[in-house]
Structure 1
Amino acid sequence: MKKFKGLFLIVSIILLLAACDGGSKQASSEETFTLKYNSAFPPSIEEWHAKAKATEEFVRLVEERSNGRVKIDIFYSNQLAGQVESLDALAKGTIDLQNITPTAWGDKIPEGSFTALPYWNINEEHSLYIMRETEIGKQYEEAMENYGVKVLSYWPGSATGLMSNKPIKNVSDLKGLTMNLTSDLMADFYKQTGIGVATIPYAEQYEALLRGTLDGIQFPFYSLEDYKLAEVVDYITKPATISPALGVVAMSQKTMDKLPEDLQKIIIDTALEMENEGLAGSKKLTEEAYIYAQENDIEIINMTKVAYEEIRELHKETTWANFAKKSDGAKKMVDLLDEETEKWKKENPGMAEEFENSFGK
């Protein structure tokens, strides 16, 4: 009889522990999390912009799909941490998410400067292919992970290219122009082409172009309207030097590890969905910039294929080569780019043909 009583007691204890464990899992599944999202940018103007998809729409959907278990507070214009400091803040978990350009952290994660290399990309689809489906993107994401930061998504921010008050049709047209030097990686390119160097804050570029202190800049084409640069430049040159520029949304790995798996999946899946939805907005923003240029008497110069290949090759010998010296990962990214681009062209003949047809005669 004592044996039966002992057995009954053991079974009762096991059932009690199981019940308690089940209760704790249930309670855990109802736990809520409030995350801090620091953005280097101001609030989005249009909801169809890729940045809006990566920021406001992403936040709305995560809160909705998690049934309110994840709440995300957005802090614009680096309110919580400065552009440079935000990387360490993210790695430490002081902030949970950050929207920024990969180049902003180039000193600590040099692989991020890859996205600023002139003529590395062709269009939005090609850009995401390189960053998502090749070893090039893996090199960058591994460097981020080693710092304690996880890449959630990329967002395309429209075309960035040459804008000037003198026509730039080829490399020789650059000689004697004074242009803003935005990266030390390009110093050798400026030297070889005979470009005069200036270092002027973005906010002062309008005045510098107006007064002739600058002859040209490399800047987003949509700034012709947004920053009224159509008033002080007469030409833009295609193909764009970066088409498109990329932003990145990253998350603290410490924060990610604290979340239940179902919430991690919601965040990751939603970020990827917003990444893909951003393609159309980026293309639209670029196209609207070209229309605005034509309406405001800005001449659009289409480089010939020969001129494009010449300027790209010179950048490979200078800007790209300087980037490759930054790290083993950076060198690998440069070494693989042309091979992966040719592979993408073969798999996407329609877009490859569209790019070839964009050159001038």
Structure 2
Amino acid sequence: MNNKKVLALGLSALMLGSVLAGCGKSDSKPEAKAEAPKYTFRLAETHPADYPTTLGDKKFADLVAERSNGRIKINVFHSAQLGEEKSVIEQVQMGSIEFTRVSSSPLAEFNKAFGVFSLPYIFDSEAHEWKFLESDYAKQMLTNLEKSKFIGLAYYDSGSRSFYTKNKVTGPADLKGMKIRVQQNKINMDLIQALGASATPMPYGEVFSGLQTGVIDGAENNAPSYLTANHFQAVKYYVLDAHQRVPEVLMASKATWDKLSAEDRKLIQQAATDSIKFQREAWNKFDKEALDKLKTQGVTVTEVKDVKPWQAAVKPVIDKYNADFKTELEAIAKARN
């Protein structure tokens, strides 16, 4: 091999070595960090757009959007646009709807412990109820919903439930023989029967026509629901017996939750927790306004000054289910102290 070829080969080897060395330099630019995924979710709500639970839903959605810089959007579908509560619960369980706000009463069909909220007169007051809902026991109830493929995020306020009927009611004896709509829950049916009335399970969306046509003689709910569902147009008597305090539950589908990063789960959970105060304030304001408006619409509102006859009438229901909800009732009693 002549000297020129040796020189050329040497230069080539030197250049190749330089290139390879350059590829391994520690100051090379790192790859761009992967962008966090964007999501658009749906939240199903039974009540109208201006209802306190819907306002709570929207506050929750706004906080999620704000804290994720618009990366996670939750669109609230109010007025049962995505279906009635029982149907929605099933869809959330399957993962076809991502979020919902529902009454804890129908949840009992999916998680037995939530049936305790349907028992009459277990809470002395709003303060007693919320002391329990903020307890570790009640928070664990939300966590346990995961066994049914739900993620319990927060409790919302729904006040107390009372009867509205076609005829005036001043005491439990006046309900005897009436057909009363109840939520689709065995305890509620037993409650109505203990009062001498006939329990008629019916989806919420059918109650107005049921009242109008006489299929049912009455129903029971809080003042905001009685007003916004226009049930007052069909029956004009409202007795404030406050037989139940049934909280609402904001929850997500476990199928959706499992797809999220730990950071996004934390963000969503904190937004749900932070929306509670707003929802409770909205509830208290609307509850007072609703009762005043019902009176201006010709509704006869009867105050119950002595609740003892009502408690005595429904005691058999407490006795029947006491063993089933022993630990829950003990935790509720503890919150009373």
TM-score using structure 1 length: 0.72
C-alpha distance 175-141 of structure 1, shift in aligned 2 (>3 A): same
Q: CA deviation at 1:220?
A: 3.0
Q: CA deviation at 1:152?
A: 1.1
Question: Partner residue of 1:38?
Answer: 43
Question: Partner residue of 2:130?
Answer: 128
Instruction: State yes or no: 1:168 paired with 2:169.
Output: yes
Q: Note the 1:1-361 alignment, pairs <5 A.
A: 26-27=33-34, 30-41=35-46, 44-45=49-50, 49-53=52-56, 55-76=57-78, 83-84=85-86, 86-87=88-89, 89-91=91-93, 93-121=95-123, 124-135=126-137, 137-138=138-139, 140-182=141-183, 183-199=185-201, 201-210=203-212, 212-243=214-245, 245-305=246-306, 308-318=307-317, 320-323=318-321, 330-340=325-335, 342-343=336-337
Give the distance between the partners of 1:167 and 1:112, measured in 2 at CA.
32
**In 1, are the aligned partners of 2:164 and 2:238 still within 8 Å (CA)?**
yes
C-alpha distance 189-34 of structure 1, shift in aligned 2 (>3 A): closer
Amino acid at match of 1:98: T
Per-residue CA distance 1:262-298 (angstroms, 9 max, x = gap) = 3333212211111111111111221112212322332
Q: CA deviation at 1:16?
A: 8.7
**In 1, are the aligned partners of 2:46 and 2:84 still within 8 Å (CA)?**
no
Give the distance between the partners of 1:189 and 1:270, measured in 2 at CA.
36
Give the distance between the partners of 1:241 and 1:259, measured in 2 at CA.
40
Question: Partner residue of 2:13?
Answer: none
C-alpha distance 13-162 of structure 1, shift in aligned 2 (>3 A): farther
C-alpha distance 289-249 of structure 1, shift in aligned 2 (>3 A): same
**Secondary structure class of the residue paired with 1:154:** strand
Per-residue CA distance 1:187-242 (angstroms, 9 max, x = gap) = 44444432234455544544544555543321232344323333333321224233
Give the distance between the partners of 1:224 and 1:79, measured in 2 at CA.
20
**Secondary structure class of the residue paired with 1:222:** helix
C-alpha distance 187-261 of structure 1, shift in aligned 2 (>3 A): closer
Structure having the higher helix fraction is: 1
Give the distance between the partners of 1:95 and 1:205, measured in 2 at CA.
25
**In 2, are the aligned partners of 1:38 and 1:79 still within 8 Å (CA)?**
no
**In 2, are the aligned partners of 1:163 and 1:236 still within 8 Å (CA)?**
yes
**In 2, are the aligned partners of 1:190 and 1:196 still within 8 Å (CA)?**
yes
**Secondary structure class of the residue paired with 1:167:** coil
Question: How many residue pairs were aligned?
Answer: 315
Amino acid at match of 2:42: Y
C-alpha distance 317-267 of structure 1, shift in aligned 2 (>3 A): same
**Secondary structure class of the residue paired with 1:240:** strand
Per-residue CA distance 1:4-39 (angstroms, 9 max, x = gap) = xxxxx9xx989699x86xx57x43xx3123142231
**Considering only CA atoms, is the larger Rg found in Structure 1 or Structure 2?**
2
C-alpha distance 158-44 of structure 1, shift in aligned 2 (>3 A): farther
Q: CA deviation at 1:44?
A: 1.6
Give the distance between the partners of 2:194 and 2:267, measured in 1 at CA.
50
Q: CA deviation at 1:175?
A: 2.4
**Secondary structure class of the residue paired with 2:271:** helix
Identical aligned residues as a percent: 20
Structure 1 gap ranges (5+): 1-8, 344-361
Give the distance between the partners of 2:193 and 2:128, measured in 1 at CA.
30
C-alpha distance 117-84 of structure 1, shift in aligned 2 (>3 A): same
**Secondary structure class of the residue paired with 1:108:** coil
Give the distance between the partners of 2:165 and 2:76, measured in 1 at CA.
36
**Secondary structure class of the residue paired with 1:304:** coil
**Secondary structure class of the residue paired with 1:270:** helix
Amino acid at match of 1:52: L
C-alpha distance 117-140 of structure 1, shift in aligned 2 (>3 A): same
Give the distance between the partners of 2:24 and 2:330, measured in 1 at CA.
63
Structure 2 gap ranges (5+): 1-19
Per-residue CA distance 1:41-77 (angstroms, 9 max, x = gap) = 255226xx24222x22221221111122323344556
C-alpha distance 260-324 of structure 1, shift in aligned 2 (>3 A): same
Amino acid at match of 2:332: L
**In 1, are the aligned partners of 2:43 and 2:99 still within 8 Å (CA)?**
yes
Per-residue CA distance 1:294-339 (angstroms, 9 max, x = gap) = 223322222233xx13323443431x455556x5xx4321343234
Amino acid at match of 2:55: A
Q: Which deviates more, 107-116 or 255-264?
A: 255-264
